[in-house]
Each structure stands twice: as structure tokens, then as C-alpha cells.
A and B are shown apart, each in its own frame.
Chain A
């Protein structure tokens, strides 16, 4: 190797630092996102959570609503910033930014005002409100400690709006797996859905590389496994079926099929949606599911499909995500 003097080496190093710094700064200048364009025509009407034939969604991180009779038509967009939203009986839950780096849960009243706010760890993923508006649940992703250990985990909590402190994580609930008491450090929960009594709930529990549908008793702080390979359950309004995403060949790396489980017969029916759905579906009525699908560049759209094997998926709200009917 040619012997450079120390001075020459320092000159080369400094020049490299300046050059590389310029590349980084130049790229940053080009990549810097322009200020978000003002959202279109909110009109005079404001977004409200009052029950009605409307669909609540998130459009460009803002809570918005459309008429269910014309879902791709005019959209009312609020200033409330959420990554995930859900509402029922005039009560909403919004998972949105607290600071640039942290997120919070906001319980919303019908006019999108905050009735309760608390910080949640990690990155927003799922949110639900029980049909009565009393129970609220959320799921976040918590990153691993290091790039090289890639240990992602989830945190799922439940708030009883009549009962004081939120349960920040289900990890302390007693688990019964296949009829036996079970514990493990790798238990993760996500995607809660509530039954009509505001105590029984369903959720996904993962442990040992498998994902289970669990039935939980909130008051007793217990869960028991019901069925394998059921993720992101969503209980139908009549309480008889669960819509969920089923990992193809029980391998999430192959994608998910949007399916429906009949709780009486435990029979699973795949819907007509063949694209991989990574969402907790919402029931528009007892026969129709709504869910978010992403285009290849990550842009979301809300779609709907019949909750049996019939029909075909149809585009409901373009450029929106996190659907929640307000009926």
C-alpha cells in the first residue's frame, strides 16, 4: 500500500467526510417531505361519532367519515390525528402521536373531544371499542432491544371506562392452553374484540411459534385457548361468528386469508377476498366485512367483502384505512 503521510491521510479523511456529509445532506434535502397538503373539503359538517349510516376511517392520519350509501363520495375530515381509530355507541378510541417519538391513547366523545388520555408504549397497531362503548382495547408493537436480536413483541391493554386504571398489558392474565395451565416468557397478545356483556373478550395469543384464538374473562383476569391459527378476531354483531385473518398453511410469512369462524360448529369459511389481509376486520352488518388493503407502495384502501364464501371484494373508500361503522 502506498505510504501516505499522516497529513495527507488527514486531508483525504476530511475530504471524504465532507463529501459523504454532502451526499447525506443532499439526499435529505431532496427527500424531505413537503408540508402535508391541506385536506380536501371538510365542508361545514364536522366528524361526529353519533350512530348513523356512516363509516369512520383514517385519511392521511386524520379521522374522517363517509356516508355508507356513497362511501367513495364526499368525505368529512377532522383535525384529530390518529393512526388507528374505532368507535361504537358514540365513544371512540384513537391511537395517535403524543410527541414526535411516542404515542398515546385518546378516548373520544361523540364530538371527537378527549375524555381520557394516556401514553402507550410502542407503535400503534390495533384498537377496538365494545358495542356499548364501555370497554376499550389497544395493541402496540414494541421494538426489540437491538437491531441484531429482532425481538419484536406486542403489548395489548384493556380499559374499562367505568373502572379506574387501565390494564396496560394482558401478560399477567392466567393462561389455560388446551385445558392446562400455561406460562411462558414469549406470550404475546394482539387484536382484542369484546362480547356484548362487556366482560368476555376474544384475542390472539402467540407463544412457541403458534398463534391461538383465546377467550378471555376480563373480571377474572384469565384467558383460555379456543383454536389455533386465528389472528385479529372480530366478533360479529350477532355474537355467533368471528372474522379473522388465517395464516396460509399456518405460516404468516405466506400471508393471510380473510376468513370467518362459526363459533357453534367451529367451521372456518374463507371469504372471496384472495389478497393477503393484514388487518383486524370490522363488521359493517351481520353479512359484510370491511378491512384495509395496501397497494404495493403501502397506500391503504378500505375494501368490503361478504362474510361468507360468496360475492367478490369491492373497493369501499379509496385512500383510507382503519374502518369502523358508526351504525
Chain B
């Protein structure tokens, strides 16, 4: 046997499986390669998937769930980095995320429900544009939810299968409804991970092997049935040696056993054994019986007449009446009786009459005798034929004690039938016939049993060679399938091992990262995740076991072990599971899209997640949809400058979703003010003093927003507890106070402070306006001055 090598990597494709065949023993290798050739996989990986990593350039959504006729376009930088898309509930975040997910997944079924058709605008139009830096892909989805890829020439095609498979495996888009299933019940973790553990090619191989094994099992059963039938025949035929040989070698003899069986089978009779020699069954013939009885009656009557024994007298009378005897002639002439010498009695006439009577009587008696003889002879069929020697031996071997009497009875009746002279009366005849009928009834049963037994033997003996031949024929015919079954069984076990190993190989790094990420997201919690493993049969199909410990005390394991987790911890668990899965090496997706990942998170967990997202953003394009600004603030506090896109609704009835890049809310505010002031010339908004007051008040809000964000950022950078930062901010009631506080934090962080003197007049003006006063001057100039302040504020941390 060739030493087998363990596969070096997870066998995800048919090409991987074919490569793994080289490490198998010859039989399994040949079978596996045959199956791979028969499968004829089209290609291992499409160019598109191999061309990754892909990044999202734009999401265009219209007529999908909460987005109506007014399309929403979400432009993104197709590169690594972090983008936060924030909007209030009901703005359409999840609609856009779901639209992107649906298109990117190739339209695979969701694990959650969405509205099939938009109630305001039924013409769904989703376009997700991806880029790998060299070319773009457009993935489109229309009203029927059918997803297609559109090339540069506008030609539509189905998404590549391996792209769809990869999406299921890496799941680069996570929506809250999917996460919520784990949050609701952490035992759903396996269902959550199922696609990541999907081994389509290996499982398909196992399905093919199953079919092969079923065919092999059917063949094996057919051979075993033929063997059992042949063995039964041999046993009946009484060939002990052959039976023992067949039993020893089983249904699948090797060559040596096969030759021995063939040789022994040749000694079996090919024809039926000699007959048993059973006499026919006899039966009573009532007509003949009656005739015999009548004949005997007539004979009896004849025998009782004086004709019996009158032969001498008749002879004398005939002699006396025959002429030629002189003396008697003389006496006749003189009518003298020759006996009594009396004269004149006409003895000649009287003697003639007597002689005629006697002659008649004698003839009748003879006829009666003949009739009886004939009638009794006819009754021979009502008596048994003589016992044959074979039957006599067979009967003698019977255990029944009455059999001996029956044999004697049989012999006696045979003697009666042979010599009917013993039957002289009707009574004796009837007795003999009744005895014969009784014996016939007994013999009928005996004969049937003997014949049946003989038939079996005849059948067994005649068929046993045929059965052995049939067994050998079936074995020869099914041998390839039976031999293949043995190899297929071994290969199936090997594939089973591969599946298990592959799942473990896929899961091990995920599991390790889950534990690590759990500790990142829960560094301050007593509840520790001490282990995570796949369970559920040899194929590890059913569940994920979590080992949790509260401090040093391990919690009981089992399905409900995770019930101790809070909603926030469950959320952390689902994220800790999802992120390692989505960021596995080999993913063609350079993006991660998360919908509402900080659900139920406290401030600490938001911060830990923000830290982790910053790390991920070095390798991935991370896009986070959230209604909660805490994540953005934490990111800013950690020194990250994520792209911040804000979505809101505007227009009559607020049907339109507006998308704005608000990485700097202060600058964003100033941009808006400039637009408003620029447009004011046509139609004044209000009195000049009111407009300048309100403009500068908004300017101050813009400055304060930026200053507060920067203080929070620097506070985290210098390690100030959050409560200290909040207390410091409470103490800084005015804009100038806040700016001075910012400078203190900047100095603590070793950064250049702002020269506030240059901005003091502007700050005073902003402050006055915020309380309903109107500084002099052009509001646009104030806005420009304010922009300088904000630039200075932002310049501290950059």
C-alpha cells in the first residue's frame, strides 16, 4: 500500500480534490480520478473572482424597501479605509445595505424577510459598482430581483457561480436582521457560520460516492441472496462437504474456494433420483362390488339346489337312457325300471325328464361359479397391489407403531386379491373390501407425504447445481460493483475525514479570531469565552459549542450555555464570529459592509469595536451603516478620520433621501451657510441683523461641534478618563472656554496649541450672535473667519 499523505490545504474545488488524489492508495486514487473526470468541472475559479480584491465604488438604489422613486446614490472611495454612513431610523440605511447585499450576493436567498415590492415605486433599480483598481463591474438588479452583471458594453450575464459561492463563504455584507438571529439565540451560531463551512465539491463527491455505494450494496445483496439459495439447496441435497465449504468462504469466494466449490458441485447428480416405487392408490368400485355380491348370492342359491352333487345320478340317468345296451334296451321296451324292476311306470320318460332337470341345474351352478370368479377377478382393482421392497423399507423406517400392522394388513389383502377363492361368501367379501378401503385411506396420506418429500429431494438435487451456477454467474457479473463498493466505502470514509478536517481547518482560524475578538470587545467583562468548537457528528454539521467562564468558574456547557449572555454580549459574539469569517485570507472581497453593528453596545464596546474597525480598515474598505453617532465619535476620538456620510430625508413629505459627506460637520455647516447666503441676494431671508445673527450663531455651533470633537479626540489620546473630559467640557461653557480647553489638551498631547488671540474678535462676534445679537459686517466674511478657526482646530490633531 502506498503511504497516504494528508491533504495540505482545504479542498474547496474539484481541482483541489483531484490534486489530493495523488496521496491516496491506488484503488481509491483511480476511483477518485475517475469520478473527477466524470464530473468534468468547468473551471476552478473565474477570472473575476481571482481578480480581487474588489471594492465598492458606488451603490445606487431605487424602488427597494424604504427607498422610493427618488434614487439614492452612495458614492464610496474604492479602496481600503473606513466610511461611516449615519442616518436616523427610517431613512433607508438598511434598504440600501440590503440592496447592495442582494446584488453582491448574486441574488441568493436571504435569511430574513424583506418587502417584495416597494409600495411607492415598484420599478426596482439597484446598481452596485465595484472596482479592483483596474476595471469596474456593475451588478444590477431590477424589479424581478434577478441579479445580473453588466460589462463595459452593457451586455448582461449571470453572476459567476464561484463569486456567489465566495459571497456565501465570506459574507462581506452583514445586515442587522442576520445578526439578530444570533442575538436572539446564540445557538444559531452554526446556522450563521454554515455557508462559511460549506464544502460544495466535497459534498457533491460524497453524493456521487453514495450513489456508487448504493449500486455496490445492491450488487452485494444480490450475490449474498444467490449464495444463500445455493447453500440451502446443497444442505437439502445433503452434500455436507460442499455446504461446509460454501459456508466457510461466504458469498464472495476467492479463486481457490471457487475452484473447490466447482469441483464439489460437479459431483452432484445432474438428474432426478430414481423413483420411490410407490404403488398406485386403489379405490372401491361400487358397481363391481355389487356385481360380485350378486354373483355370490346366485352361487349360493345354485349351491343350495340338488344339482350340486348330482353329477353321478345324472351320469347314471344318461347312461340308462342311451340306447345300445341290450339289457337296458330290453327293459325300455318292456317299461321295466332297471332300478326297482317295477313295470309300467314309464320310467324312460321320467328318467329323461329328471336327467334334463339335473343337467339344467348343473349348468346353472357352473355358470354361477363362473360369474363369481369373474366378479371377484374384477374386484382386483379394489385391493392393493403388492408392496414394493422400497416402500416396505420406507414404511419400516417410519416411527409410527401402527405401520407394522398396516404392512400385515396390506400383505393379507394382497393375498386375498391374489386368491379370491378364499372369498366364498358375501360377508367375507364385504369384510375384505372394507378393510381394503380403510388401508387405501391410510396409504393415500402416506403416499402423498412420501411423494412430496421425494419431490423436494428431486427438486433440490436437480436445482442445486443450477443454483451454484447462478450464484457464481451473479458473483462474476456483480464483482466489479462489489469490488468498487469496497473502494468506495474506503474513499467515502476518507472524504468524510477531509470534510471534517476541512471544516476544522476553516473553523480553527475563525475560532481563534472569535476568541481574540471577543476579548477585544469584552476586555472588562467577567464573562470569558474560553473555547469555541464545531460539534455535531463526524461532519461537524450541527452546532458550535461555546465554553464560557464567569471569572474562574466554567459555565455548564450545552445548548443553553450562552443564555447567560446579555443582548450586547450576544451582539459582540455575533460580530466576533462574523468579522473573522468575512476577513479570511483568500476572500476576493476587499469590502466589509456592516449594518448597525453597535446595536445594544455600551460605550466601552463601541470604543473597542471602533478600534478593531480601524485595524480592519487598513486591509479592507469598511462601510458601516448606523443610526448611532457614537461609533463615529469614538473613531474620531481614536484619531481616525473616517469618511462620514450622512443620509437624511428632505423634500415635501420627506420622500427623498439626501446623502452628504460630513466627515467634518463644522465645515459641512459652513458650506450650507455659504450656499444659503449666496442664494439670499434674490430674495432676502429676513432683516440683515436677524440674518447675520442667525448665520453667526450657526457658525458658532459649527466651531463648537468641531472643538468638542477635537477635545474628545485629544482626551482619549492623552488617556483622560471619559468622565474627566465630560467634566472639563461642563466647565467650559463658552466657545472661548472650549477653545482654551482644547489648547490645554493639545499641550498635554504635545501638540501645537491654537493662537487664540487672532480669532478672539470672531469668537466674540459668534458668541454674541448665538444670544440673539447682531455684530456688524458681511456675514460671508464671518463665515470665512469661522472656517479659519475650524481649520485651525482640525489642524491640531492632524
The answer on A and B forming one complex is no
B interface residues (Cβ-Cβ under 8 A, vs A): none
